[in-house]
Amino acid sequence: MDAPSNFRQTSGKRKGKGKTSKPQLFDDTSVQQPPPQGYSQQQPGFYDPGSQYAGQGQGQNPNWGQFPGQQIFNDPMANMAMQYGTSLAGQGKDIVNKNLEKYVSTSKLKYYFAVDTSYVGKKLLMLFFPYTHSDWSIKFDQDQPVAPRFDENAPDLYIPTMAFVTYVLVSGIVLGTQNRFTPEQLGLQASTALVWLIIELAVVMLSLYIMNLSTDLKYMDVLSYTGYKFVGMIFILLAGMFFQGTGYYGLLAWFSAAIVFFLVRTLKSQITSRSGSEGFGGSGTKRSLYLILSVSLAQPLLMWWLTRHIVFS
């Protein structure tokens, strides 16, 4: 059978020219061409990372089988840089700890959180019904403090911290029932209460310094005593949410009287005991009583100020 005319190779002379070679219409694929550099012969079309190393196979390539960037960790300079960065981080941590220790002693801070279930239950009972408690003196020396769980009259920061966080969350719930909740409201309530707490602390410590009163109170003690009001504020908000004005003002009156009685008896045992040797009725004792009454009576005002705008839109 003759081949199709399209595949015949013809020869001839063109007009005005010499004899030409036979044209080849298709490439001759009978001879296999070598693959281009950078492609694997076993898997055509896929890039072979080992082929970039001329004359080296997979076994001869030192980086074969490594993930990208792994050679950086094998670089001595990179290891030196990592060690230097680690040493800098360690030095920075030591500096932060030293500066923090100047203002806030971590060992003393742990003391204020050393509580147990029995202590928390007794302390909450004292905040709810302080009238049934008789002995308000602290049974250990402040120079060698004992964990609060061993003395129910000792101040702690666990209850104020948990009460503060719960107060912020309950505020969001109350605002949500009134369709006034926004995420920014939680930050607003927390920052407002925290600012007032810091102002209280600064005023009390400054008053102790100006009045020249000798007392065992530390700034963490003052922060603890002024933070106990958040326990009553939680129940005041819940009462206002469920019972409106009647429940709000009823529990506000109850917890206001309770916190005033609690602080008067507690602070009196710590301030007036070292206010001087002039005895009851002396100038040192009078100044201490004025300070105690001022701190105690300020708590109901702040409880009302921080809760009223939440309950009543």
Q: Taking residues 186-194, what's their average pLDDT?
A: 94
Q: What is the pLDDT of residue 8?
A: 46
82-121 b/e (C-beta count within 10 Å ≥ 16 → b) = eeeeeeeeeeeeeeeeeeeeeeeeeeeeebbebbeeebbe
Cα separation, 202 vs 155, in Å, equals: 18
Which pLDDT score is estimated for 228?
97
User: CA-to-CA distance for 111 and 140, rounded, in angstroms?
Assistant: 13
User: What's the confidence (pLDDT) of residue 138?
Assistant: 80
Confidence of residue 274 (pLDDT cuts 50, 70, 90): low
Tens of pLDDT, residue by residue over 130-160, are: 999 988 888 766 566 678 888 889 999 999 9
Break the chain into its structural domains and give their ranges. 114-311
Q: Could you give the percent of the chain with pLDDT greater than 90?
A: 43
DSSP 229-288: HHHHHHHHHHHHHHHHHHHHHHHHHHHHHHHHHHHHHHHHHHHGGGS-SS-TTSHHHHHH
pLDDT tens digit string along 199-219?
A: 999 999 999 889 888 787 888
Confidence bin at 97 (pLDDT 50/70/90): low
Contacts of 152 (CB under 8 A, 6+ apart): 119, 122, 123, 126
At 19-43, the pLDDT tens digits run 445 555 445 555 555 555 554 444 4
Residue 166: is its pLDDT beyond 70? yes
